[in-house]
Amino acid sequence: MPAKQRGSVVKRGSKWGVRYYDENGVRRSPSGFPTKTAAAEWLTAKLDEIAALRRGEAIPVANRPQTVDALLDLFLAKHGATVDPATHRKLTRQLRQARAEFGSRRPDSINRLEVEDWRATLSPGARHDVFRAFRQALTWAHARSLTDRNATAGIANPKRKRHERRAITPFESWDEIEAVADELDPRYRAIPVFATGTGLRPEEWIALERGDLDRERRVVHVRRRFTGGELKDGTKTGAERVVPLRRRVLDALDAMPPRIDTRLLFPAPRGGYIDLERFRHREWAPALRAAGLDRRGPYTMRHTFATWAIESGVQLAHLAVIMGTSVRELEDTYFRWLRRTDDALRAAFDAYDAAAIG
């Protein structure tokens, strides 16, 4: 058999057929093509596929995952091994809806139109993330020749609109923060004041060590995070950042029961890292109920820091640096509070204009 075969197109009665050798050197002679052109086009594509198989650039169809479920299992097993446990759990959760819709189908049997229709049925709040996870899996599979095509390619996946985002309910005052703190175990009582006063993410304040505090300069150095059961160097955006400490935060830290058995600033009872989910259900939620406040997650403390800072006139560029995020993300997340500052801006402009005229 030649290194590069050409195959042949032959007439068979009223139809057309082709002849070629497959990747194993076995001669094949399919027929039934309505025209010579159709037969030739099919043969060209088939020969390209066989050449790719021989070069090791493609995987035989029989060795590929036969269902979307099997493909997603492989994606989570292979790709999931390269990401942290929290990301793996998130991908697993986000792919459930794709499994429910396409799980028993052959990956290459899915077409773009039905994927677009499926995406439209997803809830607005989850649509972007759920579709992105499915696209990530199919793109990964296609790049490894596990599929002949990617049915999600070319489909727009805009982020959810502002009105589709989950509502943010920040705390209204320090009195509410203190009310929650009073209902917590003394070991955790400083957390609401600290997290609300600094705007750190939960995974950041959980990972803090006493050595990260600089009381003389009244700042805290954010150098690492604890997420998915793992300690990671750096912040979510990569770079270490320095966050100022207000007097109220320092007072709350001074009131904490002293511990010498751990270097952590906010340790769990045995001195290790706080499990955020356990803290949420065993400590945080009961404290909210006891304080007579509506249900909200620990991340609300970060939201409260941001909304209070915006309302007090802190520039977004400065706030973005302190919180370790971007101005665009602040604008998208806290647009309702930004609109509240319009009256203050108009008043400032009018005062400036009046002074200039005078």
**pLDDT at site 136:** 95
Whether the predicted pLDDT of 84 surpasses 80: no
The predicted-structure confidence for 90-132, as pLDDT tens digits, reads as follows 899 999 999 999 999 999 999 999 999 999 999 887 899 999 9
Whether the predicted pLDDT of 268 surpasses 90: yes
Which are the contacts of 323, defined by CB distance < 8 A and separation ≥ 6?
199, 302, 305, 306, 330
DSSP H or E run through 222: strand 219-222
Query: What fold, for 68-155?
Result: DNA polymerase; domain 1 (1.10.150)
By the 8 A CB rule, do 137 and 71 touch? Answer: yes
Whether the predicted pLDDT of 289 surpasses 90: yes
Label residue 342 by pLDDT band (50, 70, 90): low
Label residue 46 by pLDDT band (50, 70, 90): confident
To 10 degrees, what angle do helices 68-78 and 124-143 make? 80
Whether the predicted pLDDT of 148 surpasses 70: yes
Considering Cα of 341, then 342, then 346, then 349, what sign does the dihedral take? positive
Q: Model-level pTM?
A: 0.64
Label residue 60 by pLDDT band (50, 70, 90): low
Question: What's the mean pLDDT when you consider all of the chain?
Answer: 89
Whether the predicted pLDDT of 254 surpasses 90: yes
Whether the predicted pLDDT of 162 surpasses 60: no
**pLDDT at site 154:** 93
Query: What fold, for 174-342?
Result: hpI Integrase; Chain A (1.10.443)
Using a 10 angstrom Cβ sphere, with 0-12 exposed, 13-18 middle and 19 or more buried, the burial of residue 124 is exposed
The share of the chain scoring above pLDDT 90, in percent, equals 63
Considering Cα of 39, then 45, then 46, then 47, what sign does the dihedral take? positive
Q: Pick the more confident residue, 45 or 322.
A: 322
Phi then psi for residue 83, to 5 deg, are -115, 170
Label residue 220 by pLDDT band (50, 70, 90): very high
**Locus of tokens 């709350």:** 252
Using a 10 angstrom Cβ sphere, with 0-12 exposed, 13-18 middle and 19 or more buried, the burial of residue 344 is exposed
